[in-house]
Amino acid sequence: MTDRSVAALGADRADRADGADGADGADRADRADVLTRAVRPGDAAYERSRRALAVSGVVPDDRPALVVAARDAADVASAVRHAFRAGRPVTVRSGGHGTAFTALAQGALALDVSALDDVRVDRAARTARVGPGATSLALAQSLDGSGLAFPVGHKASVGLGGFLLAGGNGWNQGAWGSACESVRDAEVVLADGRRTVLDDASDPEAFAVLRGAGPAFPGVVTSFGLQLWPEPVVRRRSVRMRAAGRDGLTAIGTWADALAAVVAPEVELTLVLAPAGGVVASVTAFGRDHAHADELLEPVSRALPATTSAVVSSATTMPGLLLDEPARPGAGCVAQQAWSRAGYAEVLPRLAPHLAGAPSAASSVLVSSASYRRSAPPSPDPLHRPLGTLTVAAYAVWSPGEDDDANLAWPTTTLAALAGGTTGHYVGEADLRRTPDRLARCWEAGGIERVQAVRARLDPAGVFHPPPGLA
């Protein structure tokens, strides 16, 4: 692919000519449709379209050869067919939250599928069909009050495309499992532009890889079929604590370890650590009914840490969880994540110096134990698995132009504090540009070989641009 990528560089105008001589019907359809809407270097809209491939206000400098906005699956197939013939690498953008900025690649055909954002719910069948550009909030709002729910991601604007392909650490995953475990099938455009449906019957191994490979999946998903869950009653208790340095964090960690050991799988515990030193424990319960939700939260107030400054209880809904925090449009954003089998009391104090030295006060570290307590084994077998008992994710959020380099580096240096105590990484929250070696640690042993084997089978010509770490 490297040779072909290089050949593609500087060929910005070549696409308009591609297929012009002796084009068959498909070529003409491609030209008349999606490619004529492509934005290329030199076009007035190019820089805006390039930057819009990620929601972060700070993006890498990579310059795609063309940015193609698909309106439907037929557009996707046309664009991929064109790239296949022209020898262009293809990248994909759904919701734009990818922490490795994999929609941006030099010389690529960048395919923006954010407009494929349909959400159709079949209440009787307890299923939904969603486009990859649909957001967590759109799905949660479509289901609100319907009696059905889905383990959507924790932030309103995260795209279901990248989220489900990465595995999906969604709300109530302690009880519902990772979101990808609730994917029944996916409509996919393959490397030669053919459209197919992948599920456990048609191609079990490709379907397993689809649920966990993240940016390494060799195809474009144009819709997902989802299994839905009974809508829960959502209750939350937020415990605000002052953290007095390492000792304070150790005490908070000891309390959190004790709480994590006794709460039911339907309780999600996340500690949010802010640079200013405060810690908020968000404890969210997903009950069958009001009484059950209250009962689930009962252990929270036992033996609270001495640094507790407030305990706030609230009733909310699945979309309400996503609307809890204000969005920061245009902010720079990058993340790094690690799994660990250590307890909170060991992890939290190690993070203290990095929190104090964070270049942006808007950044935070999230430590959550929700991912590992599901009793039933995942079925059918997805590639994605939680690789630890805690997930630790550092998110840098800052105003573009205010020390971009320091902010971009902060999540990685912060998680370096856990060195030796990590058991893997989550492909959805890994900064693979900075640490490409982490890709191989995003899956269980043999995982990267499974991904490579499916790529070799479904994309032998290497049409889909590999993420860092998979070259």
Ligand X SMILES: Cc1cc2nc3c(=O)[nH]c(=O)nc-3n(C[C@H](O)[C@H](O)[C@H](O)COP(=O)(O)OP(=O)(O)OC[C@H]3O[C@@H](n4cnc5c(N)ncnc54)[C@H](O)[C@@H]3O)c2cc1C
* Residue 268 near ligand X by CB under 6 A: no
Q: Which stretch binds ligand X (CB under 6 A): 3-11, 32-40, 91-99, 368-376?
A: 91-99
* Residue 158 near ligand X by CB under 6 A: yes
| Residues 280-319 within binding reach of ligand X (CB under 6 A) | none
**3-state secondary structure at position 233:** strand
Starting at the edge strand found earlier in the chain, the sheet holding 220-227 runs 119-122, 127-130, 220-227, 183-189, 195-199
Q: Which stretch binds ligand X (CB under 6 A): 43-51, 158-166, 228-236, 258-266?
A: 158-166
Q: Which stretch binds ligand X (CB under 6 A): 40-48, 150-158, 230-238, 383-391?
A: 150-158
* Residue 31 near ligand X by CB under 6 A: no
Dihedral in degrees, nearest 10, Cα atoms 245, 247, 249, 250:
160
**3-state secondary structure at position 423:** strand
The site map against ligand X for 405-444 (x = CB under 6 A) is: -----------------------xx---------------
Q: Which of 49, 141, 142, 169 binds ligand X (CB under 6 A)?
A: 169
Q: Would you say 60 or 299 has its CB closer to ligand X? A: 60
CA distance 140 to 214: 22
Element (H, E) at 243: none
Bin 277: left if φ > 0, else alpha if -120 < ψ < 50, else beta.
left
Beta carbons within 8 Å of 153's beta carbon, 6+ residues apart: 136, 163, 168, 169, 170, 171, 179
Check: CB of residue 388 under 8 Å from CB of residue 372: yes
Q: Would you say 221 or 249 has its CB closer to ligand X? A: 221
* Residue 94 near ligand X by CB under 6 A: yes
Q: Would you say 99 or 307 has its CB closer to ligand X? A: 99
Closest approach of ligand X to the CB of residue 306, in Å: 31
Nearest CA to 180 among 222, 130, 134, 226?
Answer: 226
Both tokens of 90, joined, read 């293809």
CA distance 403 to 2: 33
Q: Which stretch binds ligand X (CB under 6 A): 80-88, 216-224, 257-265, 349-357?
A: 216-224
Q: Would you say 156 or 300 has its CB closer to ligand X? A: 156
User: Which chain residues interact with ligand X by CB under 6 A?
Assistant: 91-99, 102-103, 113, 132, 153-155, 158-159, 161-163, 165-166, 168-169, 214-215, 217, 220-221, 333, 335, 428-429
